[in-house]
């Protein structure tokens, strides 16, 4: 007997939140982690900085357009706006905070790029932490990790939000939630492993060039 899979039609509101979810998920689960992992694993390659900036520019475009779509969807359904309305909730507040903090981090990155960084500290196991450089560079690295955690939180709370407000009454499929946790786990593991590798690789890359000088190669 043929099985009948119910066809779900998305109205305008649900179409907007679907587009919002896809754009922000690509930003949070693919573009931002890829940019950061490139910084972690390939800092001694000439192309790392260009790749980091290009990917983070895509992250910015997706976060900005994705958030703009969510504002339209909330207004469209008569649910007020970020600060008011019957469906105001933590995902909305977190989302707007993410947008503002992300833009700040983007500016930090650009400004940090124009600051000074010495060559590798001789014999240092963790040059990322010990190389003498402008404090703004350290701020950018630490804030970058916090920012990425916030992006993951945005997606998690967004999935819960979908279950509450979609007009079609659909729920986020279990497979998508599982994929989210798998991607999250893989990114965290890969990033931590990159830090563990730093002292090991430092031993074999004594003659490599400083990361800051490599930032200038592709300008
Ligand atoms: C980092 C990622 C995300 C950010 C920055 C973000 C941001 C936002 C913001 C700012 C709003 C509120 C708009 C307003 O109050 O006018 C919102 C609403 C919403 N978001 Fe997200 N979001 C993200 C990820 C997601 C994901 C992955 C989903 C779904 C799987 C999702 C589903 C929703 C839904 C359903 C709404 C409510 C729309 C409505 O009530 O009409 N979000 N989001
Ligand atoms: C286009 C804008 C950006 C520029 C120009 C930029 C620039 C840089 C620079 C110069 C460094 C090396 C810092 C050092 O001397 O140690 C760096 C590393 C890093 N950036 Fe960015 N960045 C940008 C956007 C972002 C964004 C938006 C995030 C977060 C979402 C981010 C997260 C990071 C992280 C976590 C690292 C450290 C990677 C590691 O070695 O573990 N960056 N970035």
pLDDT in tens, 95-116: 999 999 999 999 999 999 999 8
pLDDT, tens digit (0-9, with 9 covering 90-100), for 3-36: 566 677 889 999 999 999 999 999 999 999 999 9
Q: Is the pLDDT of residue 209 over 60?
A: no
Looking at residue 90, what is its pLDDT? 87
> From ligand 1's centre to the CA of 41, what distance in Å?
32
Looking at residue 84, what is its pLDDT? 60
The residue-averaged pLDDT of 76-94 equals 73
Other residues' Cβ atoms within 10 Å of the Cβ of residue 187: 20
Report d(CA 111, CA 130) in Å as an integer. Answer: 20
- Put simply, whether the predicted model's pTM sits higher than 0.75 gets the answer yes
Looking at residue 81, what is its pLDDT? 63
The residue-averaged pLDDT of 140-148 equals 97
Report d(CA 73, CA 95) in Å as an integer. Answer: 14
pLDDT band for 76, please (50, 70, 90 cuts): confident
> From ligand 2's centre to the CA of 200, what distance in Å?
22
Which residue has its alpha carbon closest to ligand 2 atom 23? 109
Residue spans of the domains in the chain: they are 13-81+88-114+127-203
pLDDT, tens digit (0-9, with 9 covering 90-100), for 58-67: 999 999 999 9
Q: Is the pLDDT of residue 86 over 90?
A: no
The correct answer on CATH 1.10.3210.10 for the domain covering 13-81+88-114+127-203 is no
Contacts of 176-183 with CB under 8 Å at 24 or more apart are 180/29, 180/155, 180/156, 183/29, 183/33
Report d(CA 144, CA 95) in Å as an integer. Answer: 17
* Helix residue ranges, H only, the chain: 12-26, 32-41, 48-76, 90-113, 127-130, 135-165, 174-204, 211-215
The residue-averaged pLDDT of 138-166 equals 96
Q: Is the pLDDT of residue 92 over 50?
A: yes
DSSP-assigned beta bridge partners for residue 133: 117
Looking at residue 123, what is its pLDDT? 65
Which residue has its alpha carbon closest to ligand 2 atom 35? 144
Rg, C-alpha atoms of the chain: 21
Report d(CA 143, CA 157) in Å as an integer. Answer: 21
> From ligand 1's centre to the CA of 21, what distance in Å?
7
Other residues' Cβ atoms within 10 Å of the Cβ of residue 175: 8
DSSP-assigned beta bridge partners for residue 117: 133
> In ligand 2, which atom is closest to the CA atom of 151?
30
- Report yes or no: 111 and 136 within 8 Å, Cβ to Cβ: yes
pLDDT band for 217, please (50, 70, 90 cuts): very low
> From ligand 1's centre to the CA of 51, what distance in Å?
28
Report d(CA 37, CA 48) in Å as an integer. Answer: 10
List the one residue out of 46, 73, 30 whose CA is nearest residue 187. 30
Q: Which of 12, 20, 65, 159, when mutated, tests ligand 1's pocket best, judged by the most ligand atoms within 8 Å of its CB?
A: 20
Report d(CA 112, CA 158) in Å as an integer. Answer: 31
């Amino acid at each position: 007997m043929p099985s009948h899979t119910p066809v779900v039609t998305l109205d305008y509101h649900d179409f907007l939140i679907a587009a919002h979810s896809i754009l922000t998920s690509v930003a949070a689960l693919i573009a931002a982690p890829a940019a950061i992992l490139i910084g972690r694993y390939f800092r001694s390659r000439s192309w790392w900085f260009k790749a980091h900036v290009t990917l983070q520019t895509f992250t910015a475009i997706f976060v900005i357009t994705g958030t703009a779509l969510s504002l339209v969807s909330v207004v469209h359904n008569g649910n007020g706006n970020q600060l008011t309305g019957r469906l105001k909730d933590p995902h909305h507040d977190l989302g707007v905070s993410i947008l503002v903090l992300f833009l700040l981090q983007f500016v930090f990155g650009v400004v940090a790029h124009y600051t000074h960084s010495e060559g590798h500290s001789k014999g240092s196991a963790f040059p990322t932490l010990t190389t003498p450089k402008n404090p703004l560079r350290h701020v950018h690295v630490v804030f970058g990790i916090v920012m990425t955690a916030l992006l993951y939180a945005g997606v998690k709370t967004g999935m819960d939000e979908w279950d509450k407000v979609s007009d079609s009454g659909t729920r986020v499929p279990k497979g998508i939630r599982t994929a989210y946790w798998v991607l999250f786990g893989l990114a965290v593991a890969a990033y931590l492993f990159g830090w563990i590798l730093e002292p090991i690789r430092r031993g074999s890359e004594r003659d490599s060039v400083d990361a800051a000088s490599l930032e200038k190669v592709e300008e």
